[in-house]
Structure 1
Amino acid sequence: MIETVFNSDDLPKAERFAYWHEITCRTLMPTRVNVDDEGSFRASVRILGSDALQVSTETVQSLMRAERTPKLIRRSDPEQYLLGVVQNGSYEFSQLDRESTFGVRDLILFDSSYPFHVRHQGGTHVMFRFPKKLLPLPFSKVTPLLATRLPRQEGIGDILAHCLFEVTREPSRYRPSEITRLLNIALDLLTTLLSHELDALDSLPPESYREALIVRIHAFIHQRLGDPELSPMTVADAHHISLRYLQQLFAADGTTPAAWIRRQRLERCRQSLTDPHQNQRPIRAIAACWGFTDNAHFSRLFRATYGASPSEYRASYQTFVRETTSPLRE
């Protein structure tokens, strides 16, 4: 797995900007950058991933203007799409005569093969980049979405942003193979998001269509896990497919729609039972929050899945936490 880490605080002030510019041009793509005061420039960068899929998080604490010119593109073009997600700050971005301002959690897609300009006062963003050939949509369909604000308030866009934030927030928690898997999921989510915006799911190759539809269905279910009326039939209806086809989609992964929904609900309940902020919350209330209306039925399912009743599981976890966090006594 590729990992590059840079923090300007590790260098003398006079060298910070030049070294940061060199490392970002080498590991991301060549750009021309100006800052108001190189002497006060501060920045940090972390890049993770493989040769194909990479995610980076970058913080710049200076007013900065950057551009990718036709000359730089002719000199070096990785032929990539890049998806930026703003964590904090405000960014002004333009490409293909489109100009937009992006704020917290906004998503922006752009193309390394076209000139662009970006200006910001300082902030943090996550950047997901990958070869254009990996996105199973025609270039001509993607181009109208470049440098526009992609939907992110709810649904696929929000899940995509959360996935990328999760990878970069504390990457040491994940094995390299898990980071690769998460980045592949991010690519699937982006494919689904763009397809939805273009109403282009039908134009995807069959396997890509199936994968994109599954991601979309999973996102739909996660948003509605607390609704006791959620069922395989409501999922099928919401996606304009037959119940039989929905069952075939899940059967390819060795499960059923009902079992997958049930397992997701149980896992959310298990997480709540181990959350110290919910120690005093009644188990019945936790179960109801995630769609279980029959407490006895919930307890049976929980025991069958985790080998203990909900109350036993909570008590055992609390005991484990106390024993592992208590100071050693002689």
Structure 2
Amino acid sequence: MIETVFTTENLPAEERFACWRELTCRTLVPTQARCHDEANFLASTLVRGSNTLQVYTETVISPWSAERTQKLVRRSDPEKYLLGVVRTGTCGFSRGSRETTLGAGDLILIDSSQPFRARRESGTHEILVLPKAVLPLSAAEVAPLLAGRLSGREGIGAVLSRCLHEITSPGIRDRAADIVRLLDTALELLTTMLAHELHSLHAVPPESRQRALLARVHTFIHQHLGDPELSPRTVADAHHVSLRQLQQALAVTGTTPAALIRRKRLQQCRRALADPGLSRRTIHAIAARWGFTDHAHFSRLFRATYGASPSEYRASHHLLVREPTNPLRE
């Protein structure tokens, strides 16, 4: 997991804004940022997430403005979307002739490939940073929603807002698995929210709805792997599609609902068996944790998939881990 904590509080006054600007350019996207009173600039920042998805939380006392110019886009484009959530205070965004003023509870989606201008007074905001490639909607489909106000006070937007806030809460700091699940959930909620907004504009073609469905299905299965009752039928019912529709959607990716569930469960068991921190947990308990109720069936599947029994896999992996840790044994 990634976690970065930053505050300007203990920095020399003349370095505060420059250090904060460097962090935001590295974590979000490069911009030309300005502050009229750099000596009194105060800000604190938390970045938490995975290599793919991060949530950036910031509290700023001093007003600032930033611009991402066309020149900066040409020089460096990380191909990201930034979903901003205003917690307190107000801020404004401009993209071309479109001006948007946001208040507490509002959301906004920004594209790193498009120039924009931003301004903020004091307040707190969160930003979900994600590669464009992980969002199952094309840039052309998302374009109508860029730099416009999206509601985070009701419906899917409100659930997404709470999810992002939970990721940055102090109590979840040491629970990496929970953070990963929340990030996956946030991506699913964002996809659902954008698809819902685009449906309102009558702008979502069937292939985009199919990609959005696949993203939701993968997230749902990941979240319910430990439930022994998880089945293709329960997945289909949860997404209000027939079992045949679910099978057709997954067939495009070369798999079936049952095979996808089985593969994801085996992957989780393999990770657990390779984890030295779980060496005291029995293989049976690990299998049951990820939805396998028949131990013999699990062992056969594991051997067929990975070429070794669960106990052989665990023993060989832990041996490889232990040997380099004792350089004095010779």
State the TM-score, normalized to the length of structure 2.
Answer: 0.63
- Cα distance in 1 for partners of 2:175, 2:169 equals 14
Residue aligning to 1:197 = 197
* 8 Å contact kept, 1:91–1:103: yes
- Cα distance in 2 for partners of 1:172, 1:212 equals 24
Gaps of 5+ in 2: 221-236, 250-256, 262-330
Alignment of 1:8-47 (within 5 A): 8-47=8-47
User: How much has 1:203 moved relative to structure 2?
Assistant: 3.0
Q: Is 1:212 aligned to 2:216, yes or no?
A: yes
- Cα distance in 2 for partners of 1:81, 1:210 equals 20
User: How much has 1:201 moved relative to structure 2?
Assistant: 7.7
Mark the CA change 1:91 to 1:193 in structure 2 (over 3 Å): closer, same or farther.
same
Moved more, 7-16 or 75-84: 7-16
Mark the CA change 1:132 to 1:244 in structure 2 (over 3 Å): closer, same or farther.
closer
User: How much has 1:14 moved relative to structure 2?
Assistant: 1.9
Residue aligning to 1:162 = 162
Q: Is 1:67 aligned to 2:71, yes or no?
A: no
- Cα distance in 2 for partners of 1:211, 1:112 equals 22
Residue aligning to 2:121 = 121
User: How much has 1:158 moved relative to structure 2?
Assistant: 0.4
Gaps of 5+ in 1: 217-235, 255-330
User: How much has 1:208 moved relative to structure 2?
Assistant: 3.8
Mark the CA change 1:171 to 1:10 in structure 2 (over 3 Å): closer, same or farther.
farther
User: How much has 1:51 moved relative to structure 2?
Assistant: 2.1
* 8 Å contact kept, 1:45–1:59: yes
Q: AA paired with 1:100?
A: T
Alignment of 1:1-330 (within 5 A): 1-170=1-170, 172-199=172-199, 200=204, 202-204=206-208, 206=210, 208-212=212-216
Q: AA paired with 2:164?
A: L
User: How much has 1:147 moved relative to structure 2?
Assistant: 0.6
3-state secondary structure, aligned to 1:10 = coil
Mark the CA change 1:211 to 1:115 in structure 2 (over 3 Å): closer, same or farther.
closer
Residue aligning to 1:257 = none
Residue aligning to 2:253 = none
Structure 1 vs Structure 2: percent identity of aligned residues?
51
3-state secondary structure, aligned to 1:62 = coil
* 8 Å contact kept, 2:85–2:152: no
State the TM-score, normalized to the length of structure 1.
Answer: 0.63
User: How much has 1:211 moved relative to structure 2?
Assistant: 4.4
Mark the CA change 1:179 to 1:215 in structure 2 (over 3 Å): closer, same or farther.
closer
* 8 Å contact kept, 1:88–1:124: yes
Q: AA paired with 2:140?
A: S
- Cα distance in 1 for partners of 2:105, 2:63 equals 20
* 8 Å contact kept, 1:192–1:215: no
* 8 Å contact kept, 1:91–1:118: yes
Mark the CA change 1:240 to 1:116 in structure 2 (over 3 Å): closer, same or farther.
same
* 8 Å contact kept, 1:189–1:215: no
Deviation string for 1:129-148 (max 9, x for gaps)?
Answer: 11111111121110010011
Q: What value does the CA root-mean-square deviation take over the aligned residues?
A: 3.0
- Cα distance in 2 for partners of 1:116, 1:245 equals 41
User: How much has 1:202 moved relative to structure 2?
Assistant: 3.6
Q: AA paired with 2:21?
A: H
Off by >6 Å, runs of 4+ in structure 1: 213-216, 242-246, 251-254
- Cα distance in 1 for partners of 2:240, 2:13 equals 59
Deviation string for 1:208-238 (max 9, x for gaps)?
Answer: 415437989xxxxxxxxxxxxxxxxxxx8xx
